[in-house]
Chain A
Amino acid sequence: MKILRTASEGLESLAANKLRTCFMMAGTVVGIAALTVIMAIGKGTEAQVMRRVENFGPRAMMLVAGGGRTIGPPDASVATLTLADARAVRDEVPGLEIVTPQAWQMGAGLRFGGNQSKATMWGIEPEWHDAWNWYTVEGDGITDEDVATMARVCVIGSSVKRDLFGDVDPIGESLYINKVAVEVKGVLERRGVAGASGGDFDNRILLPITTAMRRVMNVDHIGGVRIITSDANRMADQAEQITRLMRVRHRITPPAEDDFRINSPLAIAEVVRGTSGTLTMLLTGLAGLSLLVGGVVLMNILLISVAERTAEIGLRRAVGATRRDIFHQFLTESLSVTFLGMILGSALGWGVSLAIQRWTTMPVVVSWEPLAVAIGFALLIGTFFGVQPARRAARLNPVEALR
C-alpha cells in the first residue's frame, strides 16, 4: 500500500538521523516513564487501601480517644473517652449493629514461669469477638459474666502462646500481666497480618474490660469504641452524628479541636492515599512538563527538518508525491518518534516501579494497564505536535522548494 511506502520514507529519515531522533524522543520517554510509575503507585495504593479496609472491616468504625490524624491506636494516657460515651453512642445513634468499648495498653509485660514477653493488652466485652469477627480456636472467649465479675481470666493471641507457653497447653494456666495473675481460658485464631502501625496482630492478650481497667491499668477511661454499622451506606452520616454527640458530651465547639476521632474505611483510604500523594503529584508535574516540552521540542525539530529538507520535499513532489504523501511521511516521523519513545518510556517506568517496589515501602503494583494509557498518549502527542510540521511540508510550493 502506498501509505506504507510513504510511512517507510519517514522511518528511514529517523534511522538516518539517530541523534536528532533521540532529541525528538527524550520528552516522550521521560513523560511516559513518569506516567507509568504514577499508575503503578496508584494501583499499589488502591490495593493497599483495599487490604487495610478489608482488615479493618468494611462496615466498621472506631471512635478513638485523642485528636490527630494517624490510624494507629492512641497512647493509653489519653483520658478523654469513657464507658458512658460508648453507652451514649449505643443509645442515641440509630442503625448501629455493634457498639463495644475497648481499653488497651501497648507493650504490657507478660510472664509465665521463666518466660517473659510484651504484648498489646485489650480490655474487651464479649461483643468484641463479633465486632472483629475474631474468635477462639482453643478454649472459650470472654463472656458477660467475666465482665460483670471482673474475672481474672484472659484470652491470648497465637504469638503470645508461642512466646510464653511454647509446647505447653496454655488453657487453665495462669500468667502474670503487670503483676496481676490471670487464667488463660482461650487462644485466638491466628490472623497472620500486620496492624496499621506494622505490629504483629497476633501478639495480643484480651481481658474482660472491667478487669483491665480496674485491676491492671487502674483507669476510668477507655481507648476507643469499636462500632459496626448495619448499613455501610449510612456510615458517613452516622460518623457525623457520633461526632456531634461527642462534641456535645465533651463540650467542644469548633474551631476548638476534637479530643476524639473516628476511623473508618474512608478515613483509612484517605491516610493511605495521602502517603503517596506528594510523590504522585511531583510525578504528574514531571509527566505533564516532559510531554509538553518534549512535544514542543519534537515539533520544532520537525519544523527545522522541514526547512532543511525543502529541496528533498520539492524533488519528491516533482517525481509524483501528492501533498498527502508528504503529510503522511512527516506525520509518520512524528508518530514513530513518540511511539518508540513510548516503548522506551514504558520500559524505563517499569524498571523504576520495580525498583521502588524492591527498595522502598511504597505500595507499587506493576501491571500492563499503563501501557494502554502510554499508547494513547504517544498517539496524542505524536499527532498533536506532528500535524503542523507535516502540514507545512505538504503545503510547500514545489517550484519554490526546488529553486
Chain B
Amino acid sequence: MIELEGIEKTYTRGDVVTRVLKDISFEIHPGQYVAIMGASGTGKSTLMNILGCLDKPTDGHYRLDGTDMVELDDEDLSHLRNHKIGFVFQQFHLLQRTTALKNTLLPLIYADRYPEEAEELAEEALAMVGLSDRIDYRPSQLSGGQQQRVAIARALINNPAILLADEPTGNLDSRSGAEVMSIFQRLHRQGRTIVIVTHDRELAEHAQRVIVLEDGQIAEDHRISQPRDAEAELAALAPAEENVG
C-alpha cells in the first residue's frame, strides 16, 4: 500500500528555487498497475525516485505499507529498497562484466540473509522473463530487449512489494518494447503492484490507471476501462525467432 500526502520536491541552486513536485497526493493499492505519464521534465523520474525510496521529498509524507519513509535514515532506506522495491531503468543498468545470473541475484548480496538457494531463485526469475537459455550470457552478448528482461528478473528476485519502471521501453525497438510490456501485464495478472513511468500515452494505456503529471502537479488521475493488451500487440507484430516466457 502506497500513500503519498502533500509531497513536495524543490531544488535550490543559489537563489534559484525550482519546485519540481508540487503537492502530490495519491494512493496505490496492492495489485494495482499504474502508469505515471507526462511530458519530459515534468518530474516523473523525481517522483519515481521518491516512490523507490532513493530520494526523499522536501516536504510531505510517504507511507509504504504503513512505514513513513520520511522518518528513516539512509541505512533503513537501503534495507527498505532491498526487500520492498524492484527497479527497472531505461538504461537497464546491468553490470557489464557479469553474467545474467549474477546480475539477477545482485540484490540478494545486500540482503540481511543470503538465501542458500540464491542461484535457483535467479534461475526462476530469469525463466519468468523467458531467458532460461541465457543465464550464462553477459550483457554484451544479449539484445537490448533481453538485457531489459534480465533487469526485470533482477527487480523480481526479492519478491518486492512494488515494481517501479522508469521509461522501461525507452531504449528498445517496438517489438522488444511490446515483449517487456507483455511481461508487465503478466506480472500484474499474477498480483504484482506495478508503477510504470512514461511520456507515451499509448504505453500508459496498458495500465489500469493513469496519473498524468503536468509541471510537477497531478493533472489527471483516471482508470483505464479497457487497458491495451500487449500480448495481442506483440502477436500482431511481425513474428521474430524468439518467444517470450
Contacts and interface: CB of A to CB of B under 8 A. Distances in A.
B69 to A, nearest CB: 14
Contact of B107 (A2, A311, A312, A320): A320
B78 A399 contact: no
B109 A398 contact: no
Contact of A399 (B49, B111, B158): B49
B242 interface: no
Interface stretch (B28-36, B89-97, B195-203, B205-213): B89-97
Interface stretch (A82-90, A140-148, A322-330): A322-330
Contacts, number: 72
6 contacts: A5-B109, A16-B97, A320-B110, A321-B109, A323-B78, A324-B75
Contacts of B49: 399
A319 B87 contact: yes
A204 B106 CA distance: 81
A272 B74 CA distance: 62
A325 B81 contact: no
Interface residues of B, number: 27
A3 B49 CA distance: 27
Interface of A: 2, 5-6, 9, 12-13, 16, 311-312, 314-325, 398-399, 402
A44 B112 CA distance: 52
B93 A321 contact: no
Contacts of A6: 109-110
B111 A320 contact: yes
A8 B110 CA distance: 12
Interface in B77-104: 78-79, 81-83, 87, 89, 91, 93, 95, 97-98
Interface of B: 49, 52, 54-55, 74-75, 78-79, 81-83, 87, 89, 91, 93, 95, 97-98, 106-107, 109-112, 114, 154, 158
Given A5-B114, A323-B75, A324-B75, A318 B81 contact: yes
Contact of B93 (A311, A322, A323): A311
Given A6-B110, A9-B109, A322-B74, 11 more contacts: A315-B106, A318-B87, A319-B87, A320-B82, A321-B109, A322-B79, A325-B110, A398-B54, A399-B54, A399-B55, A402-B93
Main secondary structure of the interface of A (DSSP, over half): helix
B99 to A, nearest CB: 11
- 3 closest Cβ contacts across the A-B interface? A320-B82, A320-B110, A319-B107
Nearest to A1: B114
Nearest to B166: A402
B165 to A, nearest CB: 13
Given A319-B87, A319-B107, A2 B112 contact: yes
A240 B7 CA distance: 88
Contacts of A16: 97
A402 B91 CA distance: 9
A312 B96 CA distance: 9
Contacts of B52: 318
A317 B79 contact: no
Contacts of A316: 106, 110
Contacts of A311: 91, 93
A2 B78 CA distance: 14
A319 B81 contact: yes
